[in-house]
Every structure is written in C-alpha cells, then in structure tokens.
Amino acid sequence: AASKLEISMPPEVEVELGGTARIECNFYIPENASYTYIDWFYVDRSNRQVRLYHITANGILEDDTDYRKRLSLGEDKALSLSEVTLQDPKVFMCQVGAGSYGMGENSTELSGTARLPASPALGSRPSLPPQIARCVSKNSLPAPNITWHKNGEQLHAGENKVSMPLTVTRESSGLYTVSSALLAPVTREDRHSRYHCSVHYVLRGQPRALDSPPVQVNVFYPSENLNLKVMPSSTLVKEGDNVTLVCEADGNPPPVFSFFKKNLDVWQDVTSLAEPDSGVLRLHDVNKTSNGTYRCQSLDLDDMSQIEEDVDLVVNYIEGVHVKMEPSSTLREGDSVMLSCDAYSPVGLKYQWRDDKGKKLVEGNQLLVKNVTFDKSNTFSCKVMAPSVPGLEQSKKVSVAVEDKPRIVAISSPLYVRQDQVINLTCKAIAFPRPTIQWSINGTAHEYVDNRHVASNLTVRVSRELLRAGAMCHVSNRLGSSEEHIQLLVDQKSTAESQGVIIVAIIVAILVVAVLGAVIYFLHKKGKIPCGRAGKQDITKPEARKDKIVVEVKSDKLPEEAGLLQGANGERRAAADQ
C-alpha cells in the first residue's frame, strides 16, 4: 500500500469546441483518511494560478472568475467546463490537502482541443479538365485532410490525369475551412460511377472520418446504338389496334428523333405524328394501309452524327367478306339453298354460321338451308375468325328472300266507335316482293316498312256510311293479293251511360217532390198552416208574419178533406200569386 498522498489526473483532455470538458481528480490518502480541502485552479496566460473552487467538509466555495457560469462540480469532485472555446485555459490543476499527510497536486492539459468538421458538401463547376465535384469542410480544428473516392475506391493525384487541389483557410474564429476539388477526365463508362469525399480528423487520439453523400457525374456523349421497337410487343397487331413505335438511343443528352414510313421506294416523313422530343410515334386504329417499314433517325447536335434503325409493322386484317347463294334465283316456299362464305386475310381463317338469335348452326364456310318457309326468319350470319390472331374477326349477315303473295297478319277489327269520332284503322301484312296496301275509303294514310312487313294506318272520321259499310284493306303484289274487312260497331257502353244519366235525373226529381209534399203535410198537422172557409189573407200585408204560409181554399168538402185540399191548392195559389 502507498504510504503517501497520491493524486492522478489525465495528462490531456480533448473535447469538441462548443462541448463540455470533464476533468477528473482522483486521489489516494493512506489509512483511508479524509481530505482537508480540494482546490481547483487554472493557469492563465501570465502563468499565474487562478483558483476556481475551494472544497472542504463544511461546503464549497466558488471563486468569482470569468468561467463561473460555465463551471460545475460532480459528486466525485470532477471539474466540468461547458461550451468550450479556443480562448479557454489550457492547463487545469487539482490540489488536495490531507492534514498530516501533507498536500499534493496534479494537472491536466486541455490541449489539442478539437472541433469536428461539418459534413462535407459537394459542388461542381465547369472546368478543363472537367471538375467532377468540390468538397468543402467548415469549422474544424485542427485542419482536417480530404480524400476522394470513386465507386468506393480511393483516388490518388497523378493517376489517370487526376488532380485534387486543396485549399485551407483559417477563419477569424480560429477554426479552419478546407476545400478540395476533384479534376479528372471522364468517359461514357463513368455515367454510372459514384464519387464521394472523406474528411479525416483525429479525436481523442483516434482517427475518424466523415463521408459526403455520393454523387453521379452527368457525362455527355454521342449515341452509339439505336433501338426501334413496336409496342405492345407481346401480341400480334390486328386492324383497329393502337400501336406505339418507341425509338431509344444511348447518347446523353438524348438526340433529336425523326420518323419515316416507306411507301414503295420513297420515304415519307411522319415526324409530325410523333410526340415532340420523345422518340415516340403513336398510330391509332391501324388498318392494312398502316403496314410497312418504319424508320427512326437520331441526330446528335454535339457532333451532328446520325444513326438509323428500321422496323416492319405487320397489321393482320380480314377483308372482302361476302356470301354466295346457290341457286341465286328467287326462292319459293319448300326450296333449299346453299350459302357459301368467303373472305381474304394474310393469315389462316376459320368460318362459323349462326342464326338470327346468335345460335351456332355449323362450323365451316358453307350452310345448307332446306325447306325454306315464308313465315320463318331466314336471316343468317357468317362469322370469320383468324385463330392465330386473338380478337381478329368479322361477320356478314345475309337474308334468304322467299317469294309469296301477301298475308294480312293484323287488322283492327272489330272496332267500337262513336259518330263523328276521328279514328285510326290499322292493317299489317307480310309479303315479298313488297306489296301495296289500298283502302276502300278515303282518309290520311301512313305506311311503314320493316323488311318483309308492311303496315298502313288510315286516319278517318266516323260517318253513318262508314258505320254501315265498314272498311276494306286490300294488299297485293305480283304473286297475288289478300284483303280483310274492318267492322265498325257503335260503342254501346257510351249510349248506356247517357241513358243512365237521364234515368237518374228523373228519379232525383221524383224524390224531391215527395220530400216537399211530406214537409207541407207535417206543417199542416202541427197547425202551422191556417185554413178556413172565410176567404183569403194577403201575404203582402205588413202585419202578416213572414214565416207563415197564407192559402185560400174554396171547397164543399168536409173539414178534414178540405184541409188536405187547401194545402195542395194553397201551395199552387201561393206560387201563382208570387
């Protein structure tokens, strides 16, 4: 065991400017005795010791110095100085008194105070040879060193005409700004290279480095290869498709593109159809006239060099779909006919027949229709497909005409009407060849034709003669004729309704008279109506009450009978007087 007071301190402490320096004072006192005091000092520029702290068992005394606000003591009595600057003291001393064991002291040098360099920033400016980038590191102490790297490997000045001029500037703050430029020739292969700089410095005796973000060089070079392709490339092109021709070059910047189409032996300029400055030519709704050879031409404005590339556009199509009928003469009911479908395409075709409802009838380009009838639909569809080109197909409809005389299929008979009513008479027929429709009466006629169906609407006013005789619809063509009679009947429902109204009116009138007679009889029985043989009273006299009925009765009947007669006669008299 040591027999005397010992004090140990680190000989040197490094700290980043602006950071906090922590200086420890470790001591040993024999027999585990306690210290009497601990004093902290710093050595000023005049080499004088200036006390900072005086520590005893009774407390801590902090001296009034310029660093008072930035000083602090730890529980282990270590001294901390915050916000370190270049002007701070370089030497700090710790003095320990231990009574009978005497006094001891030691010191630490706050030297080589380091300021970490800021992250390097890369820039560039035109130069010959080209400046790839410039690396700048600011506010460091001491001045750091800068190295350059390409794709992770360090570059060295003098190799492959590489130079790295370095500039070191001491700022007024005492910190250093270091700048380095990387100058080197570049080739086409360098377009994908990545460059970065590293700033090297030492902290607490250990070498450290900060790397800048990598950058790529924008290398200009003429095009060497040109590629012209048809999009979409995974499918065969058919008529109606939208096609895109894409021209790509490997130059930087991209060259100027032009497009041409070969017509016979002449190249036609179609650049006006292309998207400006893009190398893209879009063809919409292509057809067989879009077939041919297309050319893309690139022009590098730097050296005016040109490259050309051709591509063939093949548009698959179907044309000339037609149906042949054997025999070609007009058919009659019960005949048979052979339908043959044909078309042209640069690829193999497949045929299919369907009826008017879309139901598949037969595979192949021929369809035999037996026992044709006039009434049934004789419309068929030939579907032409190209199996090797998905989606390429066309259809052709054909109607087999069967001749026959007209047949009336609908007529508005019987028709219920009223006198002088304006009505529409309808007559519908089916026939081939197209028939004519005639009416037996005059009116305004409108005719409608749908394939083999013909309809006529006749607008007329109902007269007595029309009600009596009706109307006749006559339909005819060169194969015959047909006619139907339209019967007009009086609308009995309307007549019955009129008669019913009259009967109801009569019944209501009878009921009103009966009710009135009952009221008069009731008033008489109650004495509200005075009766007598003496004569009459004038209802116009002022003294007569207005709510009494005044009557005059002259009769040889009994009083009871006379009362009844007076009531009836009085009613008539009063009406006469009024």
Domain boundaries, the chain: 6-113, 118-216, 226-313, 319-399, 404-490
CATH architecture of residue range(s) 226-313? Sandwich (2.60)
Rounded to the nearest 10°, the torsion over CA 347, 350, 353, 358 is -80
Measured distance CA(171)–CA(136) in Å, rounded: 14
The pairing of strands 488-490 and 415-417 is parallel
Of residues 14, 16, 12, 13, the one with CA closest to residue 115: 16
Q: Which residues contact 53 (CB under 8 A, 6 or more apart)?
A: 38, 39, 40, 60, 61, 62, 63, 71, 73, 79
Six-digit token string for 178: 């270091």
Residue with tokens 């703050």: 173
Q: Going by CATH, does the domain composed of 6-113 fall within 2.130.10.10? A: no
Residue 347: name the closest of 391, 390, 386 by CA.
386
Contact by Cβ (8 Å): 419, 444: no
> Does the domain made of 118-216 have the CATH classification 3.50.40.10?
no
**Equal fold, 319-399 vs 404-490:** yes
Query: Tell me, what's the pLDDT at 341?
Result: 95
What pLDDT score does 86 carry?
79
In CATH, what is the architecture of 319-399?
A: Sandwich (2.60)
Nearest to 141 by CA among 180, 109, 111, 181: 111
Q: Return the closest-CA partner of residue 426 out of 417, 414, 375.
A: 414
The predicted structure's pLDDT at residue 557: 38
Report DSSP letters for 17-61, one per residue.
TTS-EEE--EEE-GGGPPPSEEEEEEE-TTS-EEEEEEEETTEEE
| CATH superfamily of the 404-490 domain | Immunoglobulins (2.60.40.10)
What is the chain's pLDDT, residue by residue, as a tens digit (578 residues)? 457 889 999 998 888 778 899 999 999 988 888 899 999 999 998 899 999 999 998 999 999 998 989 999 999 999 999 988 878 878 999 999 998 889 999 999 986 555 656 566 555 554 456 788 889 988 787 888 999 999 999 999 988 889 999 999 988 877 889 999 999 888 888 888 999 999 998 877 788 898 999 988 888 888 889 999 998 876 789 999 999 999 999 888 889 999 999 988 899 999 998 988 889 999 999 999 999 999 999 998 878 889 999 999 999 999 999 999 898 777 887 888 999 999 999 999 999 999 888 899 999 999 999 888 876 768 899 999 999 999 999 999 998 888 888 888 888 888 888 888 999 999 999 888 889 999 999 999 998 888 778 999 999 998 988 888 889 999 998 888 999 999 888 877 655 555 666 677 788 888 888 888 888 887 777 666 555 444 444 433 344 333 333 333 333 433 333 333 333 334 333 333 43
Determine contact, residues 388/418, Cβ cutoff 8 Å.
Answer: no
| pLDDT for res 413 | 83
